[in-house]
Amino acid sequence: MTLFKPFAAALLASVALTAIPAADAKPAGAKAGSTAVSAADPLAGLEVDIPAKRFVLKNGLTLIVHEDKSAPLVAVNIWYHVGSKNEPAGKSGFAHLFEHLMFNGSEHFNDDFFKATEKIGASDQNGTTDNDRTNYFQTVPKAALDSILWLESDRMGHLLGAIDQAKLDEQRAVVKNEKRRGENNPYSKAQDLIIKGTTPPDHPYGHSVIGSMEDLDNASLDDVKQWFRDYYGPSNAVLVLAGDITPAEALAKVEKYFGDIEPGTPVSQPTSWVVKKTGTVRETTYVRAAQPVFIRTWNISDYKSADTDYLQFFAQTFGGSRTTPLVKRLVIDEQLATEADASVSNREIGGQFSISVTAKPGVDLAKIEKIVDEELKKAIASGPSASEMGKVRTQNIAGLVKGLEAIGGFGGKANLLAESETYLGSPDAWKTGWDRFRKATPADLQGAAKRWLSDGDYVLHMVPFGQLSASAEGADRTKMPEPGAAVPAVFPAVERAELANGLKLVVARRTGIPVVNMSLLVNTGVAADWQRETKGANGFAAGLMDQGTKTRTGDQLSDQLGALGASVSSGGGGESSVVSLSAMKPTLGKALDIYADVVLNPAYRIEDVERAKSNALAGLAASKQDGAKAAGRLAGSILHGADSPYGQLVEEADIAAIDPAKLTAFHDRWFKPNNATLVVSGDTSLAEIRPLVEAAFGKWQRGSVPERIVPLTPPATKSIVYLIDKPGAPQSAITASVIAPRRVEGDNAARGAFISAIGGSFTSRINMKLREEKGWAYGASAGIGGGRGSRTYSASATVQTDKTAESMTEIANLLKGAVTDKKMTAKELADAKANMSLGLSSQWSKTAGIAGAVIDQISYDLPQDYYATYPQAIDAVTLEAANAAGAQILAGKPLTWIIAGDLKKIEAGVRALNIGEVRVIDADGKVIR
């Protein structure tokens, strides 16, 4: 489960911002690469709606139904109008704790909720808690809708008999570990300090969502049951069904499963409690981190207020992108910070506006604060420009349209409808905000900023160191309905071609929304860096391509793409460099021209290179101070060794050696059309897109490319434990690894089934042992990662410090048992296969999922029909094959351990295990003792 604590109303912003129609005209004198951007809104003609039907059952349950036949899936999203603001004194954290308990079984399915949902093929599933609501959601195959409605209604109406002291103690331990995990981040204390500095103790928002350790410890079984009686009745809930279902079908099913549940206790809700402050409250705190952080916060209007929408818009124009005043001055021009942001937390009874800046090491926060104050005063005095507002509008239209592809999950249509109904009383009330943003003027934003941001701030310096009745009859509660026959997942047809210059073109069509995405894969990666280039050249060369071309600066790129509702990103990975474009179809031609310029003509301006190097050095310093990050950084060098490309560490000296000439040479050497594949996905076809690609890339000249190696690493011959000291750390980060087979070796489907059962799902052996049974970790997992060559299989968990050695013993026993006396069982295989197969429909229902599969096939040199035949491959996996795949991964291989934690508390216990040679290393991998 996820503790959802928004610091920006991203979803509302994406729905509320639209553009004022204007003529499509290019400014006189504008040229390629010019900063002049048309004031026109190229997406103004797009109409957006989420048609929905609203019903209220006799017991008060509100049902919202949205019909979408694009895939045989239904998103199920339940919002209970209860959050941390409903918690009385001494009961902080109750809403979130109860969210966890809702996953531990009900009276007629008294087992882990995920065991049932994995069986029926649920995806995009979770539960979250914030100040104002608790929600539970998942997307299921249409054939499994009865199953999930039976489960959801059983925990709404039949939970109390299943809650006992053991479950309470188990989930209390899990939540406490979740709290410890958050506290392991040195900046996590900011949340509690901001709450205390801005909110009176008696205010509903006067404590954190996760609560205090003391209150969690004091939670009794009676308290928990009373919470359910008070807040979890149908009359305090909104249920949204979105997908392949009609309103009539939905109503009949919901009446059947939910209609006989008692209405519950009427809930009184505060509707507005805005705490407008005067004067400035200032606080300094010290953190174990490399970078200072500046945060400035104001209390603002509530969820329904127009000012909240205007302030959200203002935040995006002030600190939402590299061309906005806050980011441009601090990050781009003066390079005093690695991150800067302005955002709105849009809460039901009173929100907050925050400015946060992560300064570079050694930068005085007083200087940061002075600049923030100067830029904010200028922005309030003049208001945002019409062109900046137009760009933000266009970007948010594009964001909304792209988001509408998803029916469920975080930010999907079901979530938006539930939010609108819960907070505004109607599933289509979100359109009020949409219209408000469409008509907003610079004066509207300026006025709201003057009203709320001119006084009453909190400054934090974080310095290193009706008559309701139940129906007479209900659903059969003696057994959960079995899911019907699922519609087999079908991977869409993929079209392939090759241009005359050798550029391979792969097109996966996905209609439904007018969006086209492109990803150019260039064969580079760490194997290209190794022994030929300056270490890190791949990452810098690819990562800086979207920062400017020979005819466009980074600011010009940002402005021109933003005006088209498009975005370009680039980066260097382990096996390739990737340059991506996401564009709206109406503006694809113009966006593709800019994209080609980014691919073919990166500028590598000295100021951009030096800024990237400075940020990389700051990030490297921060990673060395964070236990889990330090361990992750050293894993490749420890497991693969210095003689392998996979074992190379990019150090400070390597970063210092990077310069524009080296990056240009890298690009010229590797970026050849005959060394690249362009993957296109979305609302287009090969016949339609090929002429555009030919026009953009047809003149790109082929050329010779250096040979890349496929690194192979032999398994370790003995077990070694590497310890990294992190004094004062409340948790230990544990990783146990072996060298695993290449992707092209063995049966991938059988291997996937084994991985799922042992550590790849919520109900896997490792997670259930360390999280659910022991309560030592918030989560634990195991899986394979790596490139085309030898890969690593790793089991990982972050555990409470006093259970470090015990957790290592459990992990070692689980991994050994999985290939000896406790091999995968027939039930585990059936569950894993069902989870893998049923999840494919959800993965392939989105453009990103289809494109990701194609990219995966290309990156690992898999057969072209790999994913087209993958459902059949999963179905054919036998128990013998799955266990053989597990043996191929683990059998007879000593484990290599990397542990980061407080050695004063854990070293003696780890050494006492006597599971291998113990080496204490520093953050650079150097052996200390």
Whether residue 678 sits in one domain with residue 637:
yes
Give the pLDDT confidence score for residue 19 in this predicted structure: 29
Q: Averaged over 345-353, what is the pLDDT?
A: 97
Tell me the pLDDT tens digit for each residue of 143-167. Answer: 999 999 999 999 999 999 999 999 9
Start-to-end Cα distance in the chain: 40
Are residues 86 and 150 located together in one domain of the fold? yes
Q: What is the rounded average pLDDT of the residues 234-248? A: 98
Confidence of residue 214 (pLDDT cuts 50, 70, 90): very high
Task: Return the residue matching tokens 């995920």.
Answer: 114
> How many whole angstroms from its chain centre is CA 505?
29
Cα separation, 808 vs 797, whole angstroms: 9
Q: Residue 711 pLDDT > 50, yes or no?
A: yes
| Mean pLDDT, range 372-398, rounded to an integer | 93
**Interatomic CA distance for residues 96 and 209, integer angstroms:** 7
DSSP states of 756-798 as a string?
IIIIISTTSHHHIIIIIIS--EEEEEEEEE--SS-EEEEEEEE
Amino acid at 754: F
**Residue 267 resides in a domain:** no
Q: Is 915 helix (H, G, I), strand (E, B) or coil?
A: coil
- Residues whose CB is less than 8 angstroms from the CB of residue 786 and which lie 6 or more positions away in sequence, other chains included: 574, 646, 740, 792
With a cut of 70, say whether residue 31 has pLDDT above it.
no
Distance CA 710, CA 65 (A): 52
Answer yes or no: do 237 and 291 share one domain.
Answer: no
312: Cβ–Cβ under 8 A, 6 or more apart, which residues?
Answer: 8, 9, 12, 13, 16, 344, 346
Same domain flag for 443 and 307: yes
Q: What is the pLDDT of residue 47?
A: 77
Query: Where does the pLDDT of residue 472 fall: very low under 50, low under 70, confident under 90, or very high at 90 and above?
Result: confident
pLDDT of 15 strictly over 50? no
What pLDDT score does 841 carry?
86
Helix, strand, or coil (residue 105): coil
Determine, yes or no, domain membership for 546: yes
Q: Rounded distance, CA 566 to CA 397, Å?
A: 10
Shared domain for 602 and 675, answered yes or no, is yes
Check residue 48 and give its pLDDT. 84
Q: Which of 241-245, 762-766, 860-864 has the lowest mean pLDDT?
A: 860-864
User: b/e per residue, 750-780, with b = 16+ CB within 10 A?
Assistant: bbbbbbbbbbbbbbbbbbbbbbbebbbbbbb
In sequence order, the 6+-apart residues with CB closer than 8 A to the CB of 497 are 504, 505, 507, 686, 690
Q: Which residues, in sequence order, are bridge partners of residue 735?
A: 796, 898
What percent of the chain clears pLDDT 70, i.e. is strictly above it?
95
Q: Taking 70 as the threshold, does the pLDDT of residue 430 lie above it? A: yes
Q: HSE (CB half, 13 Å, CA atoms) of 173?
A: 17
Q: What is the pLDDT of residue 34?
A: 30
C-alpha span between 471 and 477 (Å, rounded): 15
The verdict on residue 498 lying in a domain is yes
Quote the pLDDT of residue 350: 98
In a domain, 406, yes or no: no
For the residues 495-517, what does the mean pLDDT come to? 95
Strands (E), 13-114: 53-56, 62-67, 73-80
In this structure, are 526 and 560 located in the same domain? Answer: yes
**Domain assignment present for 35:** no
CA–CA distances in Å: residue 697 to residues 334, 520, 669, 673: 36, 11, 17, 8
334 Cβ contact list (under 8 Å, min separation 6): 371
Mark whether 453 and 308 lie in a shared domain.
yes
Give the residue carrying structure tokens 């959800």.
Answer: 842
Tell me if 376 is assigned to some domain: yes
Backbone angles phi, psi at 344, to 5 degrees: -120, 130
Better-predicted residue by pLDDT, 469 or 609: 609
Q: Are 745 and 843 found together in one domain? A: yes
Owner of token pair 């006067």: 206
pLDDT over threshold 60, residue 3 = no
Examine residue 32 and state whether it is found in any structural domain, yes or no: no
Structural domains in the chain (count): 4
Phi, psi of 280 (to 5 degrees): -120, 130
Residue 238 domain boundaries: 53-258
> Two tokens at 336?
């005093």
Judge whether residue 8 has pLDDT over 50: no
Contact (Cβ atoms closer than 8 angstroms) between residue 43 and residue 406: no
At 5 the pLDDT is 30
Within 10 angstroms of residue 54's Cβ, the number of other Cβ atoms is 16
pLDDT of 32 strictly over 60? no
Crossing angle for the helix pair 145-157 and 247-258, to the nearest 10 degrees: 40
Query: pLDDT of 271-293, one tens digit each?
Result: 999 999 999 999 999 998 989 99
Q: How far apart are CA 418 and CA 887, in angstroms?
A: 47
Q: What is the pLDDT of residue 39?
A: 43
Query: 564 and 651 share a domain?
Result: yes
Of 43-47, 194-198, 263-267, 510-514, where does mean pLDDT reach its minimum?
A: 43-47
Question: Does residue 218 sit in helix, strand or coil?
Answer: helix
Could you tell me if 342 and 230 lie in one domain?
Answer: no
Which regions of 371-414 does DSSP assign to beta strands (E)?
Answer: none
Length reported for the chain: 929
- Short-list 378, 356, 382, CA closest to 369: 356
**844 exposure class (CB count in 10 Å sphere: 0-12, 13-18, 19+):** buried
- pLDDT average, residue stretch 489-503: 94
Tokens of 327: 């980011």
99 and 210 inside one domain: yes
Identify which has the larger pLDDT, 472 or 756.
Answer: 756
Band of pLDDT at residue 13, cut at 50, 70 and 90: very low
How far apart (Å, rounded) are the C-alpha atoms in residues 747 and 597? 41
Question: What single DSSP character describes residue 716?
Answer: P
Confidence of residue 44 (pLDDT cuts 50, 70, 90): low
Strand partners, 141: 73
Neighbouring residues of 827: CB distance < 8 A, sequence distance ≥ 6: none
Residue 893 corresponds to which amino acid? K
**Cα-trace Rg, the chain:** 28
Alpha-carbon gap, residue 553 to 545, rounded angstroms: 11
Determine contact, residues 162/105, Cβ cutoff 8 Å: yes
Q: What integer is the mean pLDDT of 470-479?
A: 89
**874 — phi, psi (to 5°)?**
-65, -45
Please give the pLDDT value at position 631: 92
Q: Does residue 441 or residue 387 have the better pLDDT? A: 441
Calpha distance 797→766 (Å, rounded)? 9
Element (H, E) at 841: helix 826-843
Band of the pLDDT at 487, cuts 50, 70, 90?
confident
Mean pLDDT of the chain: 91
CATH number for the domain spanning 742: value is: 3.30.830.10
Degrees to nearest 5, angle at CA 454 with 452 and 459: 95
Q: Output the six-digit token pair for 926.
A: 């150097």
Local confidence band at 333 (pLDDT 50, 70, 90 cut-offs):
very high
Span of 436-440, 794-798, 909-913 with lowest mean pLDDT: 436-440
Name which residue leads in pLDDT, 861 or 43. 861
> Per the domain annotation, does 441 fall within a domain?
yes
Residues 738 and 863 in one domain: yes
1 falls in which pLDDT band (50, 70, 90)? very low
